Each structure stands twice: as C-alpha cells, then as structure tokens.
C-alpha cells in the first residue's frame, strides 16, 4: 500500500473514532439529564467507587475506602461502556497512533460530606487533531442525595470535577492528493483527444450522407438564397436546391443512390440522413435509383404525396396542368414503392404506374390511378438512357432489362453469329451517303439482331473501350462501330457515322475518346461482295451518354489597371490541342461551350494555366457574362473539335 493510501486510511479511521466517542458522550449526557432513581444513582456511585457488597452480603472496600452501609443492588446497566474504546483500523488492525494518560493512577479524596471520592482518569487520545476532555471527580453530595448544580452547556470546556457534556459534532475529511503538474497536462491532453474522437465519430448527432454532383450541364445550385452554377464534383448539403435548365441535365450522387434530373427539373435535398433520405421534387422529371442501408428508406415528396422506397428504381414526372394544378406520374421500374398522402396509401408493385392529380394547393384530388406500365411507356429515350447507365453500374434492371440487349449465352460470347437473311445495299464511292438498294426479285428484309452484346467500358483517362464477340461466319470484310444521335438506329450505308473500322476479324475491340453527347451505338460486321454492301451480323443498339470531365473552378482577378487574369487547373488526362476561354452573355440563357457555337476571348496553349486580358481589347468589353475554360481536341481526324474537359461556369460582370 502506498504512503498516500495509508494517510487516507488514517483519516477515515480518525473520523470513525470521533463518531463513536461523540455518540458515547451524547448518551452519557442524556442519561445524566434523565435524573435516575436516587437508589439507582447511589448504587451506581458505589459500583464506580468499588464499594459493591460481596456475594455474601458484606461490603467490599479497598484500602483507600471506608466501610459503607449495605446498599440495594440496582438492575443491570443497559450500557456496559468500557473506559477505553478499542481503536481499530481497516482489516481489524489496532491503531498505533500516539496516546497519553491524564494521571498516573487512581487516587481517593474525601468529598464535602466526608464520603471518599475516587478521581477517575481516562485515556486522552489524540486523533485527527481532536482531544476529548477528562472526566473529573464526582462530589460526595451526589451520594448523600444533595441537589447538585445543573450541567454546564455542551460547548463549555471546564475542568471543575464535573462531567462535561460535549455537543457532538463531526468534520468531514475528504481524502485528497496533490497531483503532479505533469498529470494535469496529461489529463487535459486526454480530454482533448476524447472530445476529438467523439466529434469525429459523430457520437452525439446523426451522420449525413455524402452528397456530390456527378454530372451537370446548364444547372444551378441554390443555397441560402444565392445561386451559383452547378459544377461536377460539387459537394451538396441539406436544403440545397438544384434547378436544371430546359436544355440541361444533372446527376446527383447521394451515398449509394442516384438522382438523375432531366431538363426543366427542380429538386431540393430535405434530409441527408443515411437511413432516411428525403428529396423534395419541386418540378420536372427525375429518375431515382435507390440504394440505402438495411432498415433505411428513401422518400420523394411531391407536394402532399410521398413516394417511399427501400431499394428500387423508379421515375417521377411532375408537370403543371392547364387548370393551375399538377399531375404526377410514377413508374415502379425495379421493385415496388409506397404512395402515401392525406387519406391516401397505396402500394405500387414493380411494373406498375400511378398517376396522381394535385390541386393548386398541393392536395391530391383522389386516389392514384394505378395501371401496368405499357410497352409504349417503356420505349422512352429517357428510360432507355437510364437503363444503360444502371447496366454499366451493375445494378439490377427489373422492367428496364427488356430495353437492352439480353445477356449473352455461352455460344454468343464466343462468336458474332451471321444474320440468316443478310441485308444488301449498293456500294457507293462515299460510304456515308445513302446508297440505292440493289434490284432484287422482292424486297429484302431488314437485318435482325443476332443477340450478341456490345460491351462499353469507361477508362480512367476519360476514353472508352468497345468490345464485341468475334465474327466467324463467311463473307467478312471489316467491322464498323456505328453511332448516331439517340434514339436513332445507326446502320452502315444508310444512317449514322462510325468511330472505328477494324479490318481483321480478330480485332474485336477499339479504344478512343468520344465527344460528349447522347448516342445510340452498335457494331456491324460488313461484307462488300462486288458492288454491294452486306451487313453480315450486328449487335443490338446500346445507349451511351458521354459527359465532359471537370477542370474544377475558373478564377478571375481584377488587377486594378484595366486587366483581368483568369486561372484554372491544368488538364493532364491525355493530349489535346488548346484551351478556349469561351463566354455567353447572361441574357442569352446559354451555357458557354465552343463545340456548341459559343464565342471565345482567348486561346491559351495546352500547357498554360492562366491568361491575362485587357478590358476593351476585341470582344473583351463591359457586360454581364457567363465564362468557362474548355480543353479542346480533334481526335481521330474529326474536323470539328470537342471539349475533353471544362471548368464550372463563372458569372463575371465587367464594368
């Protein structure tokens, strides 16, 4: 046991002894005030002075005491109080503290009435800084029945031969230790570490879903009443509102879920709690791909009607009606969802459609009209595009699976099967022009898909890799990787263009950079016997959406001398030709883009990261503009350049 612990135990033992002694004195004083029977008092006096009679009835007296008449024997005392309290410590160990006695022994002296009086001596103990008073001699008048003086007050400290009644009291002694100063510093450091751990771990508040922007075009972020252009990679917060222009789009990534916004849509992020995501769809059409943790849910609010899902894919279209109200249509494309509202609760199964009519105040007019999703409703460019994106992410498609190529069988993955009735077109000097069909006894049927799959993979540098099964039939000349604007059906010799022309049947892949856009893509195996173009085999059409990579934000600094310096992060993914500092006036409502026809102020070199312009030079004049930098390239011999990457749009006012 350490020295500090021993000191603490000594203090506790001292406190215990004080309490015992105070209790004994209190009982003594109380008994004194009760004024016992005189015979009992005389008998007690004789006992205390060793004048008790012997067993035979004689009086036993000490040499110092004379004989006394035989006294009645009082009843046994209720309290057998020893003249010294046994001091014990924890574990029943005797206390080894200092002790002193008030005298050298017992002595007798005559009282005022001649009766010898023995002076009592008590051990005086010094414990925890307190000493108890001696019990002095008792006068002989007590034995003779003479009235004595009243007891002194309990707080009196006199040594006049009378019992002094003390008022019991106790003082708490809290064991304390003086800590070394280095311990205090260590304690503070530990407190800071624990606080940081609690703060970082979110022990006292709910965590929030990581929300970012995956793709954005002509979209605006509204936060705290201020609007800024929405850029890819932007971090989103609760209560943020995203508005997309009629010709724009945006994709929001909420944890594992996706919110894909069509042109003219408007949403607000009401809750980013991972177990309770809430999106307020204010207007337009939005595709929701939901992935939430176990026990969580995902809700989309459209006025008073809520669409709730756990793990599903659904499409919500909210449009205004001529009567001032709105119509909301929901499509359960994968798994089901619940539709709730005032006096409204329906379950929408996979493959079902629900239409709700809202009054001008946002309340629903009646229960939703629930019908199966028709083939015509599924044959929608917006749904097909989202099906393709989900397929690339490896997500289950549900009813959307019928919009894409079916999964290949073992034989289909090895070869590209020939078409049973090949299509023939007349070859021309320019293959991209429309050829005239060859003269045949009767119309040749159009080629049908052989069921092979065209696989598309996006690489880390922004390029795309296309792969397909090998064609093993007869009459092969080359492959054509055909594309056209979605949802067209590109076919060599009749419509669309091509990105690659592989002349060997074993060349079953191609990698290249694709201009941003919305495409329909397919692979065709072409034969050219004589003057004809024959499509020997082909894959089904795949929908491909290509976005522009992000260069972050564009900075603009007014140098104060009539010049402005623009700066940006360099594009290092792959080679390109130059940058374009493009602009549009805010009044035009367009997003600046060089491939889309916007004008430009400067053409910095590919290794530049800043450019300085002087106000008044050329078209760099006073006005209200939207500005951005684009990395422009001309891959694969394209005559019109396109943007590999671009910065977010900067709102700039030139005085």
pLDDT at residue 315 in the model: 95
pLDDT at residue 95 in the model: 46
User: Averaged over 172-184, what is the pLDDT?
Assistant: 55
Q: What is the DSSP letter of 310?
A: S
Question: What is the full DSSP assignment across 98-150?
Answer: -EEESSSS-EEEE-TTS-EEEEP--EEE-BTTB-PPP--PPPGGGTTT---PP
Q: CB-based contacts of 638: which residues, under 8 Å, 6+ apart?
A: 515
pLDDT surpassing 50 at residue 305? yes
Q: What is the fold, at CATH topology level, of the domain defined by 405-546?
A: Immunoglobulin-like (2.60.40)
User: Averaged over 598-627, what is the pLDDT?
Assistant: 94
Q: Where in the chain is the domain with CATH 2.60.120.1440?
A: 211-392
pLDDT at residue 430 in the model: 39
pLDDT at residue 19 in the model: 86
The predicted-structure confidence for 306-334, as pLDDT tens digits, reads as follows 999 877 899 999 999 887 889 999 999 98
Q: What is the mean pLDDT of the chain?
A: 74
User: Averaged over 605-615, what is the pLDDT?
Assistant: 95
Q: CB-based contacts of 617: which residues, under 8 Å, 6+ apart?
A: none
Q: Do the Cβ atoms of 310 and 336 come closer than 8 Å?
A: no
Q: What is the fold, at CATH topology level, of the domain defined by 211-392?
A: Jelly Rolls (2.60.120)
pLDDT at residue 537 in the model: 93
The predicted-structure confidence for 21-65, as pLDDT tens digits, reads as follows 888 877 766 655 556 666 777 777 777 775 555 444 444 444 334
pLDDT at residue 328 in the model: 93
User: Averaged over 132-142, what is the pLDDT?
Assistant: 43
Collapsed DSSP state (helix, strand, coil) of residue 16:
helix
Q: Do the Cβ atoms of 573 and 566 come closer than 8 Å?
A: no
Main-chain phi, psi angles of 606, to 5 degrees: -65, -25
Highest mean pLDDT among 321-330, 381-390, 607-616, 638-647: 607-616
Cis ω on the peptide bond leading into residue 487 (within 30° of 0)? Answer: yes
pLDDT at residue 68 in the model: 44
Q: How many angstroms separate the CA atoms of 384 and 197, rounded?
A: 47
The predicted-structure confidence for 80-109, as pLDDT tens digits, reads as follows 444 444 444 444 444 444 444 444 444 445
Global confidence as pTM: 0.38
| 232-237: Cβ within 8 A, 24+ apart | 232/547, 232/548, 232/549, 232/550, 232/648, 233/550, 233/552, 234/648, 235/211, 236/211, 236/212, 236/269, 236/272, 237/211, 237/269, 237/272
What separation in angstroms does the CA of 622 have from each of 234, 587, 596?
Answer: 30, 14, 24
Q: What is the DSSP letter of 434?
A: -
599: nearest Cα among 617, 581, 575? 581
The predicted-structure confidence for 627-641, as pLDDT tens digits, reads as follows 999 999 876 545 567
The predicted-structure confidence for 216-256, as pLDDT tens digits, reads as follows 989 999 999 899 999 988 999 999 999 999 989 999 999 88
pLDDT surpassing 60 at residue 645? yes
The predicted-structure confidence for 469-506, as pLDDT tens digits, reads as follows 999 988 899 999 999 988 888 999 888 899 999 999 99
pLDDT at residue 236 in the model: 94
The counts of H helices and E strands in the chain are 6, 40
The predicted-structure confidence for 400-448, as pLDDT tens digits, reads as follows 887 764 444 333 334 566 654 444 444 333 344 444 444 444 444 344 3
The predicted-structure confidence for 341-375, as pLDDT tens digits, reads as follows 888 888 888 888 999 999 888 888 877 888 888 87
pLDDT surpassing 90 at residue 125? no
User: Averaged over 596-616, what is the pLDDT?
Assistant: 93
Q: Where in the chain is the domain with CATH 2.60.40.10?
A: 405-546, 549-654
Higher-pLDDT residue of 542 and 293 is 542
pLDDT at residue 631 in the model: 92
pLDDT at residue 126 in the model: 44
Q: What is the fold, at CATH topology level, of the domain defined by 549-654?
A: Immunoglobulin-like (2.60.40)
pLDDT at residue 364 in the model: 85
Collapsed DSSP state (helix, strand, coil) of residue 4:
helix
């Amino acid at each position: 046991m350490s020295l500090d612990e021993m000191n603490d135990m000594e203090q506790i033992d001292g406190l215990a002894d004080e309490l015992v002694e105070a209790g004994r004195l209190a009982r003594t004083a109380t008994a004194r005030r009760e004024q016992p029977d005189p015979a009992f008092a005389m008998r007690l006096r004789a006992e205390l002075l060793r004048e008790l009679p012997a067993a035979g009835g004689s009086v036993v007296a000490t040499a110092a005491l004379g004989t006394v008449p035989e006294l009645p024997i009082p009843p046994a005392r209720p309290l057998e109080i020893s003249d010294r309290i046994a001091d014990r410590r924890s574990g029943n160990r005797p206390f080894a503290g200092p002790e002193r006695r008030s005298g050298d022994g017992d002595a007798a002296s005559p009282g005022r009435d001649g009766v010898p009086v023995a002076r009592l001596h008590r051990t005086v103990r010094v414990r925890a800084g307190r000493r108890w008073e001696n019990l002095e001699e008792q006068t002989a008048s007590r034995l003779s029945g003479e009235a004595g003086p009243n007891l002194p007050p309990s707080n009196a400290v006199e040594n006049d031969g009378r019992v002094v009644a003390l008022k019991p009291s106790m003082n708490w002694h809290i064991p304390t230790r003086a800590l070394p100063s280095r311990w205090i510093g260590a304690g503070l450091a530990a407190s800071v570490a624990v606080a940081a751990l609690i703060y970082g771990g979110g022990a006292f508040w709910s965590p929030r879903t990581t929300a970012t922007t995956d793709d954005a075009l002509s979209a605006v972020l509204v936060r705290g009443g201020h609007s800024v252009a929405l850029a890819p990679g932007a971090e989103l917060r609760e209560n943020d509102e995203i508005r997309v222009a009629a010709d724009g789009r945006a994709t929001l990534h909420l944890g594992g879920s996706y919110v894909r916004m069509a042109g003219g849509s408007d949403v607000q992020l009401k809750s980013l709690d991972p177990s309770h995501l809430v999106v307020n769809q204010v207007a337009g059409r939005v595709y929701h791909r939901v992935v939430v943790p176990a026990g969580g849910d995902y809700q989309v609010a459209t006025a008073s009607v809520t669409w709730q899902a756990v793990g599903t894919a659904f499409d919500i279209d909210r449009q205004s009606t001529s009567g001032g109200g709105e119509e909301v249509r929901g499509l359960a494309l994968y798994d089901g969802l619940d539709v709730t509202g005032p006096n409204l609760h329906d379950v929408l199964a996979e493959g079902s459609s629900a239409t709700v009519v809202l009054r001008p105040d946002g309340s629903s007019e009646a229960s939703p009209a629930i019908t199966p999703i028709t083939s015509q409703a599924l044959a929608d460019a917006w749904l097909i595009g989202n099906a393709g994106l989900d397929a690339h992410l490896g997500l289950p498609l549900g009813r959307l699976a019928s919009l894409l190529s079916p999964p290949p069988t073992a034989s289909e993955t090895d070869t590209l099967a020939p078409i049973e009735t090949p299509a023939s077109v007349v070859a021309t000097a320019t293959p991209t022009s429309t050829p005239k069909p060859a003269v045949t006894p009767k119309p040749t049927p159009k080629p049908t898909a052989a069921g092979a799959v065209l696989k598309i993979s996006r690489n880390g540098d922004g390029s795309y890799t296309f792969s397909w099964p090998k064609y093993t039939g007869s009459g092969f000349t080359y492959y054509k990787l055909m594309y056209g604007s979605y949802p067209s059906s590109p076919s060599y010799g009749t419509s669309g263009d091509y990105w690659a022309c592989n002349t060997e049947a074993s060349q079953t892949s191609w990698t290249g950079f694709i201009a941003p856009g919305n495409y329909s893509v397919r692979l065709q195996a072409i034969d050219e016997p004589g003057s004809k173009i024959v499509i020997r085999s082909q894959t089904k059409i795949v929908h491909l959406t290509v976005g522009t990579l992000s260069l972050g934000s564009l900075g603009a600094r007014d140098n104060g001398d009539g010049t402005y310096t623009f700066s940006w992060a360099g594009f290092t993914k792959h080679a390109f030709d130059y940058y374009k500092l493009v602009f549009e006036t805010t009044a035009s409502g367009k997003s600046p883009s060089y491939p889309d026809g916007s004008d430009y102020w400067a053409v910095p070199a590919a290794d530049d990261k800043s450019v300085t312009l002087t106000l008044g030079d050329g078209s760099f004049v006073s006005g209200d503009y939207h500005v951005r930098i684009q990395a422009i390239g001309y891959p694969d011999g394209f005559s019109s350049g396109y943007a590999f990457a671009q910065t977010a749009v900067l709102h700039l006012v030139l005085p």
